Amino acid sequence: MSLTAFYALAAFVLVFAILAVTTASMVRAALSLAITFFLIAGLYLLLGSPALAAIQFMVNASAIPIMTLFIIMMTQSRTSAGPRSWQIVAGLLAAAAALVFFKGNVGHGDGQITPVSPETLGVNLLQAALLPFEVASVLLLLAMVGAIVLARRRAG
């Protein structure tokens, strides 16, 4: 893995993630989010996990931004008010807390990563993480139904 390529991709991930949160145009925010997810899939490829990169690309980089664009178009909300000052402060505090947490918890292993086959990954995800997957799918369904209800109320 090229360390330079990893840091370059990570920098682009940060730039597009910040754009996704701070831009006033909802369509541009959704596009920035899609690019962020796509770049994260590239990070997974650089880290030697093509199965996780494929899942990231199929689910996060394609399905979630498309659904977000449908919601934006159905609700006719094209712009946002932008972040408030307390939201910026809260975001900076959360970032600082995450840095402190990761600084204290990362790097305590032997540095070896054991490769996992896609079959083992699928079995683990469908056994250990089945409930979170189902909860996420229900929440996404509820978000779509809510967007449709809001769009119909405004139209009628």
Helix (H) or strand (E) run with residue 145 in it: helix 130-155
pLDDT tens digits along 107-126: 666 666 677 777 887 787 78
76 Rama sector, left if φ>0, alpha if ψ -120 to 50, beta otherwise: left
Q: Can you give the pTM of this predicted structure?
A: 0.61
Q: Which CA distances in Å does 58 have to 54, 89, 110, 153?
A: 6, 33, 32, 32
Domain range summary for the chain, segments of one domain joined by +: 1-77, 117-155
Cβ-count burial of 120 within 10 angstroms (0-12 exposed, 13-18 middle, 19+ buried)?
Answer: exposed
Handedness of CA 14, 67, 139, 89 (dihedral sign): positive
Helix (H, G, I), strand (E, B) or coil at 151: helix
CATH number, domain 1-77: 1.20.120.1200
Q: What is the pLDDT of residue 108?
A: 61
pLDDT tens digits along 21-69: 888 788 888 889 889 999 999 999 888 888 888 888 888 878 888 877 7
Q: Which CA distances in Å does 118 have to 16, 42, 103, 110?
A: 29, 17, 30, 23
Q: Which residue in 79, 1, 6, 65 sits closest to 39, CA to CA?
A: 6
Distance CA 102, CA 73 (A): 38
